[in-house]
Chains A and B, each alone.
Chain A
C-alpha cells in the first residue's frame, strides 16, 4: 500500500542532522553570523531543498551540510557520526565517500577528459584503475554521454557538462547528492532535464539536497523545503509525494526498478 510505504520512508534513518549549528566569521571588528543556530534533519531517501535569498546563509549551510566546512558551534551528524570536530583530511575521506557534489558552474577539472573527471573521486578513495574505468564508463552510459568520454569539458555544452558533474557525483555511489543551484547556469529546458535526472536518482533511493534561490524549483521537486533568512531557519514546508513518485519508489522497493548510477559489486 502507498501509505505503508510512506510510513516506512519516514521511519528510515537520519542521514544528516545539524544541531544548533552556528558558523560565525570575524571580519575585522565585526562578527558575521552566516549561520546562526540552525536545526536541519535530513532522512535517507528524502529530496530536500534549502531555500533562501542571497545572504540568507544558504551557501554556508550547504558547506556545513556537505562537510566542506566545520561549524564554530553546534554539531553536525553525518550517518550518525559527529563530524564537527574532524580533521580536514578525515572530512575529505568521508565526504568523498558519502556525498556527491553538483555545482552551479559544473566545476569540472578542465585538464581532464570527461571520463577522467568521473574517475577522479574514485581515485581519492583508492579504487583500482580498472574498476574506476569500468564504473566511469557505466555511469557515463547512463547519463547518455558514452560518445563524449574522451572529450574535454570545454568541448561540451552546459547541459552535457552538468551531466558529467552528475556522473562524477555518482562515482563513489554516495548516499547523498548535494546540488548547489544545479540549474543556475542552464536554460530552462536543459535545467528541467537535469532536475528530472535528480528526481530519478531520488526515486532510486538517493538522498538529494538542493540549494536554490528559486522557490518554484524548490516547491516543484522537493518534498521538504528549509526556508532560510538571516542565518536562521525561518520555516520548513513539506509536501506530500505525488502518486507518480510513490509508484516509482514502490517499484524500487520491490526490487523491480533499474537502479540509476549503481556501482558494480566490488571485491
Chain B
C-alpha cells in the first residue's frame, strides 16, 4: 500500500506547475549549504592544518614572543631563545629530545633574478632523522641533506614546479646564490600543499649559522615528548623551566609553548565559527523552504478538493487521503534535498579543486554516503512533517462538499 501512495503522489507531483517547484528553493539552498559545508569544510580544515604544518601529534614547538608577535617566528624578538634553553628543555624528564631550529630570510639569486627566500636549518645527527619525520619530508628528485653537506641546499617543491618567480625550474645540479654565496641544489622535496614548506630553502645548521651570522640565538625549539600522554605535562614542564630561566612570572610569559592540540583548537574555533554561521543560514533557508511546502500543499488541497471528493466517493478512507498528501509533501522535500545534495557535492568538489590550485594542496572532497543518505532522509522527513497539517485538512474534507469542488 505504501508504494501505492508513493506512486500516486509521484503522479501528482509530475503534474505540478513551476510555482510549486519554486517553493522548494529554500530546502534546496539549505541542503546545498549543509552538504557543501561538510564536503568542503573537512577538506578546508585539512588544508588549513597542512598549511600550518600540523601533522605530528607528539611535537611541541617553543618560540619567543608567542604566536601573536609580528613578523616571521622569532624575528625581532628582544629576548630570544638560546641554544642553552634548548639544551635545558632536552634534559626534562618528559622530553625525549629538543631540537634548536634557525629560520632566516635572505637574498636568493638564480637565473639572474633576485628574490627574497626563507631558509630553515636542518639539524645534524639523530635530530636530523627526527626533523625529517616531523615534516614527513622526502625528496621528489635528488636527495635530502645529510651530515657534512656544507655548500648544498635542498629546495621546496615550488622552486621545482617554477612558481617561485625565477622564470625557470631549478633542478638538482644547478647552483643558486644565497646571500651572494654559491650553493649547489641537491634535491627538491615532495609537494606538501603548504605555502610555507613548499617555498622553503633547507640548509644544514652550521652553514646557515655562518651565512646569516647567527650567534646562539634560536628561533624555534622543536620538542619531541617521550609519549603522547605526556604532552600536557611536557608543556607545563617547559613553561616552568623557561619562566625560571628567563625570570618571568606566570601569566607574563614572553614565549609560547604550543602543542598540536592548541594549534588544532585555533583552527577548529575559526572554522567552527564559519560553520555555525553557515548552519544558521542553512537552517533559516530550510525553515523558509518548509513554510513554502506548507503553503503549496495548502493551496494544493484547495485546488484538488474535487479530486479528494471523488477519491472518497470511490472508497478512499481518511487515512488514504492523509497519506497521499503526506507522502507528496515528503517527496517535495526529498526532491529539494536531492537537488541540494547534487549541487552541494558539486560545490564541495569544485571548491576543493579551487582550493587545491590556489594553495597548491591536494585535498580531496569529503563525500560521505551515509551522511548524504541521512540528509536525504531528513529532507523527506522535513517535507512530510510540514505536510501534516495540509494532509489532515485534506483527509477531513466532507465528501459531499468536496465533490462540489
Using CB atoms and an 8 Å cutoff, list the residues of chain A in contact with chain B.
Answer: 63, 66, 68-69, 88-89, 92-93, 95-97, 100-101, 103, 107-112, 116, 120-121, 123-126, 129, 168, 171-172
Contact = CB atoms under 8 A, between A and B. Distances in A.
Interface stretch (B126-134, B243-251, B306-314): B306-314
Q: Which of B14, B15, B311 has the most chain A CB within a 10 Å cutoff?
A: B311
Contact of A124 (B12, B14, B315): B315
Given A107-B306, A120-B311, A93 B317 contact: yes
Given A101-B313, A107-B310, A89 B319 contact: yes
A88 B318 contact: yes
Contact of A68 (B8, B306, B403): B403
Contacts of B311: 109, 120, 124
B316 A124 contact: yes
B399 interface: yes
B399 A68 contact: yes
A109 B11 CA distance: 11
B322 to A, nearest CB: 10
Interface in B20-48: none
Interface in B205-230: none
Contacts of B313: 66, 68, 95, 101, 107
B400 interface: yes
A121 B315 contact: yes
Nearest to A64: B400
B315 A109 contact: no
Interface in B334-377: none
B1 interface: yes
Given A107-B403, A109-B307, A120 B12 contact: no
B314 A111 contact: no
B4 interface: yes
A220 B125 CA distance: 116
8 contacts: A69-B399, A88-B318, A92-B312, A92-B320, A109-B307, A124-B311, A124-B314, A124-B320
A17 B399 CA distance: 21
A214 B133 CA distance: 99
Contacts of B307: 109-111
Nearest to B404: A59
A97 B315 CA distance: 7
* Among all A-B residue pairs, the 5 with the closest Cβ atoms: A96-B315, A124-B315, A89-B317, A121-B314, A111-B15
A92 B12 CA distance: 22
A105 to B, nearest CB: 9
Contacts of B8: 123
A63 B399 CA distance: 9
Contact of A123 (B4, B318, B403): B4
Interface residues of B, number: 23
Interface of B: 1, 4, 8, 11-12, 14-15, 306-307, 310-320, 399-400, 403
Contact of B310 (A63, A69, A109, A123): A109
A109 B9 CA distance: 13
A172 B4 CA distance: 17
A63 B312 CA distance: 12
Nearest to B320: A124
B210 to A, nearest CB: 86
A222 B141 CA distance: 101
A63 B398 CA distance: 12
B394 to A, nearest CB: 13
B314 A101 contact: yes
Q: Which of B1, B15, B403 has the most chain A CB within a 10 Å cutoff?
A: B403
A116 B11 contact: yes
A117 B314 CA distance: 10
Contact of B400 (A69, A96, A97): A69
Nearest to A132: B4
Contacts of A97: 315
Contacts of A111: 11-12, 14-15, 307
Contacts of B312: 68, 92
Nearest to A123: B4
B280 to A, nearest CB: 39
A96 B4 CA distance: 17
Contacts of A171: 314
Contacts of B314: 96, 100-101, 120-121, 124, 168, 171
Contacts of A88: 317-318, 399
Contacts of A93: 315, 317
Nearest to A107: B310
A237 B17 CA distance: 52
A125 B320 CA distance: 10
Contacts of A129: 4
Contact of B1 (A66, A95, A126): A126
Q: Which of B1, B12, B315 has the most chain A CB within a 10 Å cutoff?
A: B315
A95 B318 contact: no
A101 B320 CA distance: 19
A101 B318 CA distance: 18
A124 B14 CA distance: 22
A121 B12 CA distance: 17
Contact of A92 (B1, B310, B317): B317
A129 B2 CA distance: 12
Contacts of A168: 314
Given A68-B313, A107-B403, A126-B1, 6 more contacts: A68-B400, A68-B403, A69-B399, A88-B317, A89-B318, A111-B14
Contacts of B306: 107
A172 B316 CA distance: 13
Nearest to B314: A121
Contacts of A121: 314-315
B15 to A, nearest CB: 5
